[in-house]
Amino acid sequence: MKKKSGFTLAELMIVLTILGIVAAVLTPIIFNAAPDENKLKFKKAYYTLQRTTDAVLNSDTYPEGDMSRVTNADKTFCYAFSDMLNTMYDNCEGTGAIEVNSGNAFVYDPSSASTSLDTLDGYCTAKTVSDPLNGGSSNLPKFITQDGIFWWGFDFDFDPDDASYSSGIRTDYAVVCVDVDGVGEEPAFGFGIRYDGKVIVGNKAREWLKEGANSVIHSEN
């Protein structure tokens, strides 16, 4: 008769100890390697903003390629933008506005870029829309896309005869705010969109984009 063999208690304890060590080493690596959902949604929102703005500017809505040359410019852009996305709620008829520069559009100053872009984020922090599905906390033009990202601002009302210029370039921007986790804890990201479709990002967005090796960050320079 053959003698049956098996693991001794000591051998089992050694194996369990090794597995415990491996798990302790690999667990942090696995969690660190897992993509951050908010960062993935942010990058999706950023590229959506760029692509959709470009598509809107080149649509029949703006035959002159200038988003200021239409009636009710802010509502027109909000509707044109949201119509190109899968939205689950929209209220582009909001009458509120993100008041900047004495009621005019945001002006990006290349000579003090860091301060300007911090201010851009600040506008969105001060005008947070906490719950668009229930009317939100303000009457700003806003909508929410199917992925749960909140969008608001869209205060396009550029006056070609009353614009700011820097080296011959018009530098007034409408503020668009994006909250990637809805009513979560992540603060909103501030973006600026110029009458000709140029997009700039606030400092918070710039920091997140730097983490992607292939990210392209636009600036006035």
- Determine the pLDDT at residue 190: 92
Domain range summary for the chain, segments of one domain joined by +: 37-210
Average pLDDT value for residue range 16-25: 73
pLDDT above 60: residue 22: yes
- Determine the pLDDT at residue 216: 42
- Determine the pLDDT at residue 168: 67
Write out the chain in H/E/C secondary structure: CCCCCCCCHHHHHHHHHHHHHHHHHHHHHHHHHCCCHHHHHHHHHHHHHHHHHHHHHCCCCCCCCCCCCCCCHHHHHHHHHHHCCCEEEEECCCCCCCCECCCECEECCHHHHHHHHHHHHHHHHHCCCCCHHHCCCCCCCEEEECCCCEEEECCCCCCCCCCCEECCEECEEEEEEEECCCCCCCCCEEEEEECCCCEEECHHHHHHHHCCCCCCCCCCC
Q: Is 194 left (phi over 0), alpha (psi -120 to 50) or beta?
A: beta
Higher pLDDT, 127 or 4: 127
pLDDT band, residue 29 (cuts 50/70/90): low
- Determine the pLDDT at residue 201: 92
- Determine the pLDDT at residue 132: 67
- Determine the pLDDT at residue 194: 86
pLDDT tens digits, residue range 92-142?
887 777 777 777 778 887 788 888 888 889 888 888 777 766 666 667 888
pLDDT above 80: residue 146: yes
pLDDT above 80: residue 202: yes
Cα separation, 18 vs 23, whole angstroms: 9
Average pLDDT value for residue range 165-177: 77
Higher pLDDT, 158 or 39: 39
Q: What is the mean pLDDT of the chain?
A: 78
pLDDT above 70: residue 215: no
pLDDT tens digits, residue range 34-44?
457 888 899 99
Average pLDDT value for residue range 59-75: 82
pLDDT above 50: residue 175: yes
pLDDT above 60: residue 28: yes
Average pLDDT value for residue range 153-169: 65
